[in-house]
Structure 1
Amino acid sequence: MINVLFFAELQEAVGKEKIVIEADGITVKELKANYLNEYNLDNIDHAMAAINEEYAEEDTVIKSGDVVAFIPPVSGG
């Protein structure tokens, strides 16, 4: 099981702050493509990914038990 956390507008688009999925050995890129497209997260490609509270690249492999967070870019002034 992998816990996937969402922040800001991604959380609003999904309708919850977390989903739990069965996936092991996939990359961050595959997670975005295979699982998150069903939530119509148009801006997921602009979000930073973190695995277990450390920023991760697109080719980072996710293991069962990991916590993956997607954090959209922040703007302000």
Structure 2
Amino acid sequence: MPRARQVLRNIVRAQVEKQPSARVPAFVDGLLERAVELDPAYARAHGNAAMCHHCLFLRAGLQDADRTTSIHYAGAAILQG
């Protein structure tokens, strides 16, 4: 899936330049979830999704769902990494 990773990288770069910084973690997380669906062994996508949810947890109201999802993706990154 190297082509899928390159396409994802290009999309993220293009969209991050257009989005206000407060919305970037949620936007990028959607792309990372798609990357994990395409390639479940893509450890970097799991790790970055964990960080996105961690940022959402800290900056978007300390929602337990974001914390739990961050921990889930972090564990998956370790297993795949």
Higher percent of residues as helix: 2
TM-score under structure 2 normalisation? 0.31
Pair member with larger Rg: 2
